[in-house]
Amino acid sequence: MRIDKFIANLWYGSRRQVWEYIKNEYIKVNGETIYEKDYEIHFWDVVSIWDTVIEYKEYIYVLLNKPVWYISSKKSEWWHPSYLELLENCPYAQIIDIVGRLDFDTSGFLLLTNDGSLTHKIISPKKDIFKKYSVVWENNISQKDIEKLESGVKIDDTISKPAKVEIIDKNKIYLSISEGRFHQIKKMFESIGNTVIELKRVSIGWLTLWELNVWEWKYLSDEEIKKLFE
Which are the catalytic amino acids? 103
Asked whether position 102 contacts ligand URA by CB under 6 A, the answer is yes
Q: How far is the CB of 133 from ligand URA (least distance, A)?
A: 6
Asked whether position 200 contacts ligand URA by CB under 6 A, the answer is no
Asked whether position 199 contacts ligand URA by CB under 6 A, the answer is yes
Cα separation, 193 vs 48, in Å, equals 55
Q: How far is the CB of 108 from ligand URA (least distance, A)?
A: 8
Cα separation, 167 vs 10, in Å, equals 43
Q: How far is the CB of 114 from ligand URA (least distance, A)?
A: 22
Q: Which of 15, 121, 183, 218 binds ligand URA (CB under 6 A)?
A: 183
CA distances, 54 to each of 41, 57, 63, 90, 92 (Å) = 12, 9, 18, 9, 9
Residue type, 85: E
Asked whether position 60 contacts ligand URA by CB under 6 A, the answer is no
The smaller minimum CB distance to ligand URA, of residues 130 and 219, is found at 130
Secondary-structure breakdown of the chain: helix, strand, coil percentages, each rounded to the nearest 5:
25, 30, 40
The smaller minimum CB distance to ligand URA, of residues 114 and 184, is found at 184
Q: Which helix (H) or strand (E) holds 222?
A: helix 222-229
Asked whether position 106 contacts ligand URA by CB under 6 A, the answer is yes
Contacts of 116 (CB under 8 A, 6+ apart): none
Asked whether position 184 contacts ligand URA by CB under 6 A, the answer is yes
The smaller minimum CB distance to ligand URA, of residues 37 and 200, is found at 200
DSSP, res 12: I
Q: How far is the CB of 179 from ligand URA (least distance, A)?
A: 9
Residue type, 172: K
The smaller minimum CB distance to ligand URA, of residues 21 and 104, is found at 104
Query: Torsions phi, psi of 95, nearest 5?
Result: -105, 0
Q: How far is the CB of 210 from ligand URA (least distance, A)?
A: 19
Q: Report whether 33 contacts 25 (CB < 8 A).
A: yes
Residues that bind ligand URA (CB under 6 A): 102-103, 106, 183-186, 199
